[in-house]
């Protein structure tokens, strides 16, 4: 007999209700903890960069930057899998089926562990050859490898936190993952200073600090789930997941994992073009990307919130709320873009200097130009992210992947045709131009989704 999840029971009365009431207000309240969580998660990487740049110099900063795209490839695939699993959990919660929700968690644990193990093993075999293939400058090759190898070993830890946080958000709780990250972020800052500035571990110290800090957030998250959200704790019987649910979990997680990894593979290709422009250009790009990763967080947080919103309302059969919610998210993206333009025109160079600790003109000018030129396209990026996540939440697994293929092919074309001719200017414009093509494809798919627009689908 199927158990229904109580509407209000212990912890659940603290959750944000995304299936009833004002849409944007609920989305914004749910989004804020995700935004701050992402902010502090990015702080892990940015503090690494700032301490490395200021303590060890431009060469060490370039070492981390040269393997940044590989970092995204390793971690991004695991995060994509975790997000896909959380989408299925949110649908189960939206349908108010407690037994199905617990089976979803059980299947997610199995798939997540096996996926993380495969990612780690692949990294151990292929990381060094990949760095060589990407034309990483010889003077930073070994430093880059020592950093990314430790990150690879810690993939399971990073995936575990993402899955725990994703499951909590699936039931409407975006607040507690924030608390765990605030604690571990403070630890990460302290460990960075100890391992890099005191112990003298170099760039390896930054990687060790990141993995340990993430590990602490995992422990805290698991402890909280066991104590306060028993609805997410499966019993032995729930591990009899069944083929249909396993396939749903596997296909959804692999779809999002592949989407993330194809994007990251495109970034790896783009990194090859950047690496050929010299160490100082790499350093400037690294600093600009770190700041970009901060300023696009309002878009990413809202897209993540929208994913849970769409998943729950899909499970609850509320297509009208999905339509209204997506329109409001699109408008929000435009507002964020306007604010980004104002911010970058005032403080871009200062922000690059803060992150890099460099006084080199090439580093500062290129980094600032990257931020200023990208800012107007934040509106496009917001629509892209929210639509792609929404389509995944609606059960679409193949067509959203096509947008990632567009990005991958586009980056190859830029590396082969435009970067050799226009140098770093082509690097800056590469992603914004590709975003436009991706967004056109995704919005077209969304407008013909049979759940959201049933009449249009029949025609």
- How does pLDDT run across 165-201, given as a tens digit for each residue? 888 888 888 888 888 888 888 888 888 788 877 787 7
Summarize pLDDT for 118-156 with one digit per residue, the tens: 888 988 888 888 888 877 777 778 878 888 888 888 888
For residue 402, how many other CB atoms are within 10 A of its CB?
A: 15
Which tokens go with 133? 């293939």
* Cα angle: 235, vertex 239, 244; to 5 degrees: 135
- Tell me how far apart the alpha carbons of residues 272 and 258 are, in angstroms, rounded to a whole number: 21
CA dihedral over 264, 268, 269, 273, signed as positive or negative: positive
For residue 317, how many other CB atoms are within 10 A of its CB?
A: 10
- Which 8-state DSSP code applies to residue 95? T
Range among 61-70, 108-117, 139-148 with highest mean pLDDT value:
108-117
Residues near 234 by Cβ (< 8 Å), separated by ≥ 6?
102, 103, 105, 106, 109
From 193-202, 342-351, 445-454, the region with the lowest mean pLDDT: 193-202
Confidence of residue 391 (pLDDT cuts 50, 70, 90): very high
Alpha carbon of residue 425 to chain centroid: 26
- Tell me how far apart the alpha carbons of residues 159 and 163 are, in angstroms, rounded to a whole number: 6
- Tell me how far apart the alpha carbons of residues 368 and 387 are, in angstroms, rounded to a whole number: 29
Q: Is 101 in contact with 92 (CB distance < 8 Å)?
A: yes
Q: Cα-flanking dihedrals φ and ψ of residue 240, to 5°? A: -85, 75
Q: Is 340 in contact with 295 (CB distance < 8 Å)?
A: yes
Span 213-218, average pLDDT: 88
- Tell me how far apart the alpha carbons of residues 251 and 255 are, in angstroms, rounded to a whole number: 6
- Tell me how far apart the alpha carbons of residues 391 and 310 are, in angstroms, rounded to a whole number: 9
Domain ranges of the chain: 24-458
Taking the model in full, what pTM does it have? Answer: 0.76
Alpha carbon of residue 304 to chain centroid: 9
Q: Is 213 in contact with 185 (CB distance < 8 Å)?
A: yes
What pLDDT is stored for residue 303 in this prediction? 94
């Amino acid at each position: 007999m199927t158990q229904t999840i109580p509407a209000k029971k212990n912890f659940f009365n603290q959750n944000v209700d995304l299936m009833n009431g004002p849409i944007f207000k609920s989305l914004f309240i749910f989004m804020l903890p995700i935004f701050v969580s992402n902010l502090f998660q990015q702080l892990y990487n940015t503090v690494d960069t700032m301490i490395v740049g200021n303590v060890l110099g431009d060469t060490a900063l370039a070492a981390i930057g040269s393997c940044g795209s590989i970092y995204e490839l390793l971690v991004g695939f695991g995060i994509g899998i975790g997000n896909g699993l959380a989408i299925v959990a949110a649908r189960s919660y939206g349908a108010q089926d407690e037994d199905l929700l617990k089976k979803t968690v059980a299947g997610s644990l199995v798939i997540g562990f096996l996926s993380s193990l495969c990612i780690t093993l692949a990294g151990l075999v292929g990381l060094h050859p990949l760095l060589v293939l990407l034309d990483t400058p010889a003077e930073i090759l070994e430093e880059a490898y020592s950093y990314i190898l430790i990150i690879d070993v810690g993939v399971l830890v990073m995936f575990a936190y993402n899955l725990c946080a994703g499951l909590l958000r699936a039931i409407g709780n975006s607040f507690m993952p924030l608390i765990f990250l605030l604690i571990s972020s403070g630890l990460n800052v302290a460990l960075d200073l100890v391992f890099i500035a005191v112990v003298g571990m170099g760039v390896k110290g930054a990687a060790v600090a990141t993995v340990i800090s993430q590990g602490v957030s995992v422990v805290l998250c698991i402890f909280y789930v066991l104590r306060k959200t028993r609805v997410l704790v499966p019993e032995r019987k729930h591990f009899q997941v069944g083929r249909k649910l396993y396939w749903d979990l596997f296909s959804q997680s692999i779809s999002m994992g592949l989407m993330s990894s194809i994007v990251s593979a495109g970034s790896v290709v783009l990194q090859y073009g950047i690496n050929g422009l010299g160490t100082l250009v790499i350093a400037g790009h690294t600093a600009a990307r770190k700041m970009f990763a901060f300023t696009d967080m309002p878009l990413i947080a809202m897209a993540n919130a929208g994913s849970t919103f769409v998943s729950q309302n899909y499970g609850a059969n509320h297509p009208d709320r999905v339509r209204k919610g997506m329109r409001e998210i699109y408008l929000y993206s435009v507002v964020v873009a306007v604010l980004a333009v104002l911010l970058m025109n005032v403080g871009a160079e200062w922000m690059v200097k803060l992150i890099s600790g460099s006084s080199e003109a090439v580093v500062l000018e290129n980094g600032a130009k990257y931020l200023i030129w990208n800012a107007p396209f934040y509106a496009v990026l917001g629509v892209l992210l929210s639509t792609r996540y929404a389509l995944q939440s609606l059960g679409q697994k193949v067509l959203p992947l096509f947008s990632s293929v567009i990005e991958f092919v586009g980056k190859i074309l830029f590396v082969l045709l435009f970067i050799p001719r226009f140098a770093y200017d082509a690097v800056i414009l590469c992603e914004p131009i590709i975003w436009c093509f991706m967004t056109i494809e995704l919005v077209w798919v969304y407008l013909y989704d049979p759940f959201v627009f049933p009449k249009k689908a029949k025609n």
